[in-house]
Amino acid sequence: MRAVVITGTGQVSVETVPDAVLPGTDGAIVAVEKAAICGSDLHFYDGDLPFFPVAVGHEAIGTVVEAGTDVRSFSVGDRVLVASVAGCGSCLGCDTGDPVTCFSGPKVFGAGELGGAQAELLAVPAADFQLMRIPDGLSDEAALLMTDNLATGWAGAADASGTVLVLGLGAVGLCALRSAEAQGALVYGYDPVAGRRARVSNPLDSPEAILEATEGRGADLVIDAVANDASLDAAFAAVRAGGTVSVIGIHALEPYPLNALMGVYRSITLRMKTAPVHQTWPQLLPLIHSGALRTDGLFTHSFALDDAAAAYAAVAARSPDCIKAVLIP
């Protein structure tokens, strides 16, 4: 089968690798129909996470082509979406719907432990837990977003109310912004790329502008969808006393110099979250179906799997017109 492999900083190849094999009697093989490039994948491409070579991708939808004898909820021919984070599916942690709390430790597709989803086939362990059948009326784009980006944005915007500032208006940031709006918050957005700011209703020219917008008080919730040192500094400067900084971006390997004393003095809540993807599905589906949570307009580009190098270059440019790309095997 063919699979996308990042072999070094800025280096992408599509390689012929052994076909995915059934990962136990509770697993399944999914023939990938569409796979998306996530901002997290760019951390390998940009060299922030220099673990090479790595078969990448953790956002995929497709059709079950093989199922283990212990799989109860899915059959060959079912169209499914695959949660980006995997758990054993049978422990008390997974029972909460949050594989990050799996007792055996969570695993992410396309991060070395499991196969990458940007491939023709994907081996899925604990299929009854990892998969969700794509319901009638749900677009492929919405299903892909539910594998990770929308779940991450929703988790970052948990309990959003009052005034919210979203830093970074890529796909995850836009999902967080729409999630906060769906909860009735007044949401502002900032991105250094002017064309991305133009995509939101209340754009700011700088993170500091939130202080003027709130008469000096700051945002009740700041969602950092970037998580580099500069954006974290901006988040702490923009949040009000007693407010919350919600970090859903991926920081580099170097430590961040947190001013803990100021955080304590201002009673700031710091929340850092990997999305409980499975847990979000019953919350997101009715909002998507009702139109309260929009999923349109985030996928801007489509590429054949063999053109993965061009797709990564387009997404990595972080231009106003390229928000999210899909790869089609």
Q: What is the pLDDT of residues 193-219, one digit of tens each?
A: 999 999 999 999 999 999 999 999 999
Please, which pLDDT band fits residue 3 given cuts at 50, 70 and 90?
A: very high
Range of the domain at 156: 152-272
Residue 142 shares a structural domain with residue 122: yes
Supply φ then ψ for residue 106, to 5 degrees.
-75, 155
Instruction: Note whether 247 and 293 are same-domain residues.
Output: no
Whether 140 and 9 map to the same domain: the answer is yes
CATH number at residue 233: 3.40.50.720
pLDDT in tens, 25-43: 999 999 999 999 999 999 9
Boundary-marking domain end, from 272, 298, 315:
272
Looking at residue 111, its pLDDT comes to 86
H/E segment holding residue 304: strand 299-304
Which of these three, 272, 295, 311, is where a domain ends?
Answer: 272
The reply to whether 78 and 173 lie within a common domain is no
24 and 144 co-located in one domain? yes
In this structure, are 156 and 218 located in the same domain? Answer: yes
Residues 204, 240, single domain; the answer is yes
pLDDT of residue 198: 96
Please tell me whether residues 179 and 136 are part of one structural domain. Answer: no
pLDDT in tens, 71-110: 999 999 999 999 999 999 999 999 999 999 999 999 999 9
Q: What is the pLDDT at residue 43?
A: 94
From the CB of residue 32, how many other CB atoms can be counted at a distance below 10 Å? 25
Residues 112-141 pLDDT 10s: 789 999 999 999 999 999 999 999 999 999
If asked whether residues 42 and 88 sit together in one domain, one would say yes
CATH number at residue 43: 3.90.180.10
Peptide bond into 50 cis (omega under 30): no
Identify the pLDDT of residue 173: 98
Judgement on whether residues 296 and 317 belong to the same structural domain of the protein: yes
- DSSP β-ladder status, 85-86 and 60-67: unpaired
Does residue 255 surpass a pLDDT of 90? yes
Interval 162-205: pLDDT, tens? 999 999 999 999 999 999 999 999 999 999 999 999 999 999 99
Task: Kindly state whether residues 133 and 217 are assigned to the same domain.
Answer: no
Per-residue burial over 251-263, b if 16 or more Cβ lie within 10 Å, else e, is beeeeeeeeeeee
Quote the pLDDT of residue 29.
Answer: 98
DSSP codes, 139-197: -HHHHHHHTTHHHHHHHHTTT--SEEEEE--SHHHHHHHHHHHHTT-EEEEE-SSHHHH
pLDDT at 192: 97
Please indicate, yes or no, whether the overall pTM of this predicted structure exceeds 0.85.
Answer: yes
Residue finishing a domain among 272, 289, 313: 272
pLDDT reading at 316 higher than 80: yes
Question: What total number of domains does the chain contain?
Answer: 2
| Share of residues in the chain with pLDDT > 70 (%) | 100
Contact yes or no for 146/81 (Cβ under 8 A) = yes
Q: Which residues make Cβ contacts (< 8 Å) with residue 305, sequence separation at least 6?
A: 2, 4, 14, 35, 118, 119, 120, 327, 328, 329
Same domain, 286 and 139: yes
Residue range 279-296, pLDDT digits in tens: 999 999 999 999 999 999
